[in-house]
Amino acid sequence: MNALLEKPLILFIDDDEDVLRTLKLCLNEDFQVLTAATPEEGLLLFKENHQDIKVVITDLKMPSMNGIELLKEIKHLDSQSVCLILSGRGDFEETVEAINRDLVYRYLQKPCDRDSLLETVHSAVKARRMNETLETVKKILAEEGAHLTQFYDQLILKGGTPLNFRSNDYSAGEIGRIKCLAEVGMVTLKIAHDIRNKLLILSLGMEGIETSLKKENFPAMFMNVVKKSISEISDLLEEIHFFVTQNGTEIHPAQIQVKNFISSCLPEIRSVFAEKEISVHLQIPEDFQIKMDSRLLLRLILNLAMNAAESMVKGDFIISAEEKDTTMELIFSDTGSRLLEQNLDDIFKPYATYKTGGSRIGLMNLKKTVELHGGTVRVESAAGKGIIFILSLPKEKKL
The whole-number pLDDT of residue 391 equals 94
Q: Is residue 1, in this structure, part of any structural domain at all?
A: no
Average pLDDT over residues 269-290: 90
- Please identify, among 124, 157, 189, the residue that sits at the C-terminal boundary of a domain: 124
pLDDT of 164-209, one tens digit each? 444 444 455 555 555 565 566 556 656 666 676 666 666 666 666 6
Identify the band that residue 340 occupies on the pLDDT scale cut at 50, 70 and 90: low
Q: Is residue 145, in this structure, part of any structural domain at all?
A: yes
The whole-number pLDDT of residue 158 equals 47
How far the first Cα of the chain sits from its last, in Å, is 64
Identify the band that residue 210 occupies on the pLDDT scale cut at 50, 70 and 90: low
Domain identity same for 137 and 244: yes
Q: Is residue 2, in this structure, part of any structural domain at all?
A: no
Range of the domain at 20: 9-124
Does 244 score more than 80 pLDDT?
no
Q: Is residue 315, in this structure, part of any structural domain at all?
A: yes
Axis-axis angle for helices 67-77, 92-100 (nearest 10)? 20
Domain identity same for 86 and 142: no
Q: Is residue 399, in this structure, part of any structural domain at all?
A: no
Domain identity same for 102 and 147: no
> Which pTM was predicted?
0.49
Identify the band that residue 398 occupies on the pLDDT scale cut at 50, 70 and 90: very low
Domain identity same for 171 and 267: no
Identify the band that residue 396 occupies on the pLDDT scale cut at 50, 70 and 90: low
Does 154 score more than 60 pLDDT?
no
CA 197 – CA 203 distance, rounded (Å): 10
The whole-number pLDDT of residue 3 equals 41
Does 107 score more than 90 pLDDT?
no
Q: Strand 53-59 and strand 82-87: pairing? A: parallel
Average pLDDT over residues 101-114: 77
Does 5 score more than 50 pLDDT?
no
Average pLDDT over residues 250-260: 88
Identify the band that residue 253 occupies on the pLDDT scale cut at 50, 70 and 90: confident
Does 122 score more than 80 pLDDT?
yes
Domain identity same for 259 and 223: no
Domain identity same for 194 and 269: no
- Please identify, among 75, 103, 124, the residue that sits at the C-terminal boundary of a domain: 124
Look at 282 and 163; give whichever has higher pLDDT.
Answer: 282
The whole-number pLDDT of residue 356 equals 47
Does 148 score more than 60 pLDDT?
no
SS3 sequence of the chain: CCCCCCCCEEEEECCCHHHHHHHHHHHCCCCEEEEECCHHHHHHHHHHHCCCEEEEEEECCCCCCCHHHHHHHHHHHCCCCEEEEEECHHHHHHHHHHHHCCCCCEEEECCCCHHHHHHHHHHHHHHHHHHHHHHHHHHHHHHHHHHHHHHHHHHHHCCCCCCCCCCCCCCHHHHHHHHHHHHHHHHHHHHHHHHHHHHHHHHHHHHHHHHHHHCCCCCHHHHHHHHHHHHHHHHHHHHHHHHHHHHHCCCCCEEEEHHHHHHHHHHHHHHHCCCCEEEEEEECCCCCEEEECHHHHHHHHHHHHHHHHHHCCEEEEEEEEEECCCEEEEEEEECCCCCCHHHHHHCCCCCCCCCCCCCCHHHHHHHHHHHHCCCEEEEEEECCCEEEEEEEEECCCCC
Average pLDDT, the chain: 75
Distances from the Cα of 111 to the Cα of 63, 87, 108, 114, 205, angstroms: 20, 9, 8, 10, 17
Domain identity same for 68 and 120: yes
Domain identity same for 381 and 260: yes
Domain identity same for 207 and 99: no
The whole-number pLDDT of residue 317 equals 92
Residue type, 9: L
Distances from the Cα of 23 to the Cα of 10, 30, 40, 52, 60, angstroms: 11, 12, 20, 20, 16
The whole-number pLDDT of residue 90 equals 57
Q: Tell me the torsion sign for CA atoms 15, 18, 23, 28.
A: positive
Percent of the chain past pLDDT 70, that is, above it, reads 59
Identify the band that residue 152 occupies on the pLDDT scale cut at 50, 70 and 90: low
Domain identity same for 196 and 120: no
Does 163 score more than 50 pLDDT?
no
Q: CATH no. for residue 68?
A: 3.40.50.2300
- Please identify, among 124, 140, 172, the residue that sits at the C-terminal boundary of a domain: 124
Distances from the Cα of 70 to the Cα of 40, 43, 385, angstroms: 9, 8, 28
Q: Which of 2-16, 33-47, 248-262, 313-327 is predicted least confidently?
A: 2-16
Domain identity same for 90 and 25: yes
pLDDT of 56-90, one tens digit each? 998 887 877 877 888 888 988 888 888 888 876 55
Q: Is residue 3, in this structure, part of any structural domain at all?
A: no
Does 339 score more than 50 pLDDT?
yes
Domain identity same for 99 and 148: no
Average pLDDT over residues 255-284: 91
CA 97 – CA 114 distance, rounded (Å): 26
For the chain, what is the domain count?
3
Look at 106 and 281; give whichever has higher pLDDT.
Answer: 281
